Structure 1
Amino acid sequence: MQRSVTSPTAPTEKTYSELQLAYSHFNDHLFEGQLPHCLITLQREKRTVGYFSAARFATLDGRTTDEIALNPSYFAVVPIIETLQTLVHEMAHLWQEHFGKPGRGRYHNEEWASKMESIGLMPSSTGQPGGMRTGDRMADYAIQNGLFLQACDALLTQHFQLSWYDRFPSEEHVRLGAQSMATQIDARHGTTVPIATNVALANAVHPGGSVRSASLATADGERPSMVNKSNRIKYTCSGCAKFSVWGKPEIELICGKCKSEFVPV
């Protein structure tokens, strides 16, 4: 018998219903239910775990809605709390778009940083203590016993989960997962990476593996090249993002301006 496309086990329906549940939960617990609806998408933007885009989508009658995008390449190799941090980080941008004054372009200003702290997330350019609170490229980490972790406790003890994971994260994604501050949070659900706690998932996920690309094509129908024949790769500062260099794989570099690590791009 053919399975109905509206079956609750359909991957698209399952994935987006889980993300919508998380959005609604954090809206209620951290933003007093003030945030309007938005369209959550999955996007593999390079070197981006997520982003917010104001009024990005429109309906046939001219109504608009904001977009929050999450990068699924990280889901299997970072703690689920880290993924939820990304969602709430972008929700803070959505809050500022509707109730505050956003900074220019990608700049994370003081108003945004203060809102993040008030809901239990500490802005940090490095994702670690000591990073800059404002700037163009910002990460964050959970404040111990803050509102965000309390909201996570309420969500994760309701057996919330993400059901579908990208099988081919890069080695860089794995390293970022291992360095996540979420792994240092004690006695809470969601602080270990999914592939470390689920054998079946670990067997299915292949970090750095090859993705079958027979269906990939550009707008004019040409297959894009997937081969990097160079023995050098590009590194960009993870803090100020103002400097880039080329070098051999696995070298370790520190930015002389902001003291952040250079990461592969």
Structure 2
Amino acid sequence: MTTPTQEAYEELQYAFDHYNRELFSNELPPCLITLQREKRTYGYFSSKRFVNLRDEKHTDEIAMNPAYFAVISLQEILQTLVHEMVHAWQFHFGKPGRRGYHNREWADKMESVGLMPSSTSAPGGARTGEKMGDYALESGQFLAATEKLLGQGFGISWLDRLPVAVSETVTPTTASGAALGAPLGAGLSGLIHSPVDINRSNRIKYRCPSCASQAWGKPNLRLLCGETACDAAPLLPVDG
């Protein structure tokens, strides 16, 4: 029986291996893929982040933020993965810019694999800079590889029930300017809670769905009700 941990990580590893073959000619070395709730980012790359206790070998990290999985499309999740894979390619085969800066070499590689870098995640944005998104080129390799991946029945199975809100100032699009597909959690009405805007306030209200007890705390906390009858029910963020 496949466990949730196996299922979630094996899906990401499968996608990594697929894009490594299709977009990078299997050049990228293995890395450690993690799920990290880093604020205001869909994912990140960290070179040589882990070391093996037995043989002292290093490996890179590609982190994916599951707090957004329910509120963005599957294509956006996969674009994030490939975006970070380009950072891995540049670390091993190119010359990364100063910390946090996406330079021209990175932008050229992004475009070569079918993703146009953009500071606005839409046509017209700057091609290089500190904070960079991207959009898929209509005839590019990324969309062709993604179509092939989805044709194999690929999907993301596990979604965070308490997602964070996507910034209203960034609306990921295609090269034509059309919005991407529906968020993965769009069809799970009642199971996925309304996104929490982590920038709106330092403290928000939480409520137990069983006994209606309330608490205040920082956004994106995981709180459990202490009432015996509630059986440690998760407190849910509420408006007002």
**TM-score higher than 0.5 here?**
yes
Q: Answer yes or no: is the 8 Å Cα contact 2:122–2:174 preserved in 1.
A: no
Give the superposition deviation at 1:202: 2.9
Give the superposition deviation at 1:48: 1.0
Give the superposition deviation at 1:132: 0.6
User: How many residues of Structure 1 are paired with residues of Structure 2 in the alignment?
Assistant: 202
Tell me which amino acid in the other structure corresponds to 1:181. T
Cα displacement string for residues 23-77 of structure 1 (whole angstroms, at most 9, x for unaligned residues)? 0000000000110000011111111111000000000121000000011111111
Q: Answer yes or no: is the 8 Å Cα contact 2:117–2:127 preserved in 1.
A: yes
Tell me which amino acid in the other structure corresponds to 2:194. P
TM-score normalized by structure 1? 0.71
Moved over 4 A (4+): 174-177, 182-186, 209-213
Tell me which amino acid in the other structure corresponds to 2:117. P
Cα displacement string for residues 188-243 of structure 1 (whole angstroms, at most 9, x for unaligned residues)? xx8322223x3xx2321002367799xxxxxxxxxxx8248xxxxxxxxxxxxxxx
Partner of 1:79: 73
> Using the alignment, how far apart are the partners of 2:94 and 2:73 within structure 1?
30
CA 1:102–1:86: 2 relative to 1, 3 Å: same
Partner of 2:95: 101
Cα displacement string for residues 111-153 of structure 1 (whole angstroms, at most 9, x for unaligned residues)? 0000000000000011011111111110000001210000000
What value does the CA root-mean-square deviation take over the aligned residues? 2.4
Q: Answer yes or no: is the 8 Å Cα contact 2:136–2:175 preserved in 1.
A: no
Partner of 1:204: 191
CA 1:161–1:211: 2 relative to 1, 3 Å: farther
> Using the alignment, how far apart are the partners of 1:185 and 1:155 within structure 2?
23
CA 1:67–1:211: 2 relative to 1, 3 Å: farther
Q: Answer yes or no: is the 8 Å Cα contact 2:20–2:26 preserved in 1.
A: yes
Give the superposition deviation at 1:184: 7.1
Structure 2: state its 5+ residue gaps: 197-204, 209-215, 220-240
Select 1:17's aligned residue among 10, 24, 31.
10
> Using the alignment, how far apart are the partners of 2:167 and 2:160 within structure 1?
12
Q: Answer yes or no: is the 8 Å Cα contact 1:167–1:205 preserved in 2.
A: yes
Tell me which amino acid in the other structure corresponds to 2:47. A
Structure 1: state its 5+ residue gaps: 1-6, 214-224, 229-265
SS at match of 1:66: strand
Cα displacement string for residues 74-128 of structure 1 (whole angstroms, at most 9, x for unaligned residues)? 1111110000000000000000000000101011000000000000000001101
Q: Equivalent residues in 2 for 1:111-190 (5 A)? A: 111-170=105-164, 172-173=165-166, 175=168, 179-182=171-174
> Using the alignment, how far apart are the partners of 1:211 and 1:67 within structure 2?
33
Aligned residues with identical type, % of pairs = 52
Tell me which amino acid in the other structure corresponds to 1:202. S
Select 1:195's aligned residue among 185, 188, 205.
185
> Using the alignment, how far apart are the partners of 2:191 and 2:138 within structure 1?
33
Partner of 2:211: none
CA 1:149–1:122: 2 relative to 1, 3 Å: same
Select 2:46's aligned residue among 43, 53, 68.
53
> Using the alignment, how far apart are the partners of 2:65 and 2:98 within structure 1?
23
Give the superposition deviation at 1:180: 2.2
Select 2:31's aligned residue among 13, 34, 38.
38
> Using the alignment, how far apart are the partners of 2:13 and 2:206 within structure 1?
28
SS at match of 1:95: helix
Q: Answer yes or no: is the 8 Å Cα contact 1:168–1:211 preserved in 2.
A: no
